[in-house]
Amino acid sequence: MLTYATPPRCVADIWTLRFAHNAQRMETEVPMVNPRIMIVDDDPGIRSVVAEFLGKHGYDVETAEDGVAMDKIIATSSQPFDLMVLDLMMPGEDGLAIARRIAAPGGPAIIMLSAMGEDTDRIVGLEVGADDYVAKPCNPRELLARIRAVLRRRHEPRETGDVSGVIAEFAGWRLDLVRRELRSPDGVLINLSDGEFSLLRVFVERPQRVLTRDQLLDMARGRDSDAYDRAIDVQISRLRRKLDGASHSTDELIRTIRNEGYMFTPKVTRR
């Protein structure tokens, strides 16, 4: 019997071809589509640093020094852009003017980037259609987090059905979404802070569904919140105490899902 210290070349070739075929088949079956982002800023240093940083985190990034260059790239691009990062102060057409003309339903998300960080500048930026506003100088990691949050909100599936109802009922509880009143199964009015009400509203609008801390922050606190994930834990703890303290049931209304987030367990009806 013959033995081989190494596989015969024909066998090695067969395995090489097989692995190559499998890799090609996987690329065909599961195409990887990276979110497309354009950075429009007249500062070449900022364009270079931000583009390189976002590229390392899986984004397909294009850069432009002004609105004219941006329009040329868009006109020749075969794929639409998912998000635009616009500098506010640029020669020629500024970021606000660009945001006004590209903001449209189904269009790209917009993040304004500017050294002008006053509240009035932020409000104007958001009013013309921007999804978020980041003041310079900013850490690239902060910009990355804002981009992820904006894109996540864009892709968040919208609720269907009876979401127009202003009264939400669950496990004997009654939440009036207009009057912002919560009544226990015994009819007792439960005092809620603004944060607790916003958090409970998020839960009743998405019952029996696991929500991560990031999702709860985005939905309850809003895009401009400076809160962090542990703040949600504290808020949920306070809300749990109020629900458990006024309930005769031993059922857990807000369940912790380990390593994932939280889930509102009861069935919710709205009218």
Are 107 and 74 a contacting pair, CB within 8 Å?
Answer: no
pLDDT number for residue 222? 60
Q: Which residue has the higher pLDDT, 41 or 14?
A: 41
Same domain, 235 and 191: yes
Q: pLDDT tens digits, residue range 235-247?
A: 888 898 888 876 6
Structure tokens at 202: 């998020």
Residue 5 pLDDT exceeds 50 = no
Confidence (pLDDT) at 263? 92
Query: Once rounded to an integer, what is the mean pLDDT over residues 44-68?
Result: 93
Contact 157, 207 (CB under 8 A): no
Q: So what's the pLDDT on residue 158?
A: 45
Tens digits of residue pLDDT in 101-144: 887 766 788 998 877 656 666 666 666 778 888 888 778 888 99
**Among 108, 134, 155, residue at a domain's last position:** 155
Question: 43-49 long-range CB contacts below 8 Å, 24 or more apart?
Answer: 43/87, 46/87, 46/113, 49/140
CATH assignment of the domain containing 63: 3.40.50.2300
- Together in a domain, 49 and 127: yes
Q: Are residues 99 and 175 in the same domain?
A: no
Give the CATH number for residue 229: 1.10.10.10
The enclosing H or E element of 125 equals helix 119-127
> What angle do the packed helices 229-245 and 194-205 form, to 10 degrees?
90
Which pLDDT value is given to residue 56?
92
Instruction: Assess whether 199 and 138 both reside in one domain.
Output: no
Q: What string of DSSP letters covers 6-53?
A: S--HHHHHHHHHHHHHHHHHHHHHS---PPEEEEE-S-HHHHHHHHHH
Q: Please, which pLDDT band fits residue 146 given cuts at 50, 70 and 90? A: confident
How much is the average pLDDT of 19-45? 64
Q: Is residue 1 part of a domain?
A: no
Confidence check: pLDDT of 173 > 50 = yes
Higher per-residue pLDDT: 271 or 23: 271
pLDDT at position 16 is 37
What percent of the chain shows pLDDT beyond 90? 32
Q: Write down the pLDDT at residue 122.
A: 66
pLDDT tens column, 179-200: 889 999 988 999 888 778 889 9
- Compute the distance between CA of residue 163 and CA of residue 165 in angstroms, rounded to an integer: 5
Q: Is the pLDDT of residue 67 over 90?
A: yes
Residue 205 lies in a domain: yes
Q: Cα 160 vs. chain centroid, distance in angstroms?
A: 19
Cα dihedral 168, 173, 175, 180, rounded to 10, equals -170
Which of 133, 155, 177 corresponds to the end of one domain?
155
Domain of 226 in residue numbering reads as 167-270
Asked if the structure places residue 6 within a domain, the reply is: no
The pLDDT of residue 270 is above 70: yes
Q: Is the pLDDT of residue 37 over 80?
A: yes
The pLDDT value given to residue 72 = 95
Cβ partners under 8 Å of residue 88, min gap 6: 94, 95, 96, 112, 113, 114, 115, 116, 121, 125
Identify whether residues 191 and 247 lie together within a single domain. Answer: yes
SS3 at position 101:
helix
Angle between helices 95-102 and 67-76 (to 10 degrees): 30
User: What is the per-residue pLDDT for 53?
Assistant: 94
All residues at 6 or more sequence positions from 238 whose CB lies less than 8 Å from its CB, including other chains: 193, 196
Q: How is residue 28 written in tokens? A: 């065909």
Of residues 271 and 76, the one with the higher pLDDT is 76
Residue 260 corresponds to which amino acid? Answer: E
Residue 66 has what pLDDT?
93
Q: Is the pLDDT of residue 10 over 80?
A: no
Select from 127, 155, 183 the last residue of a domain: 155
Is pLDDT above 90 for 160? Answer: no
Assess whether 131 and 193 both reside in one domain.
no
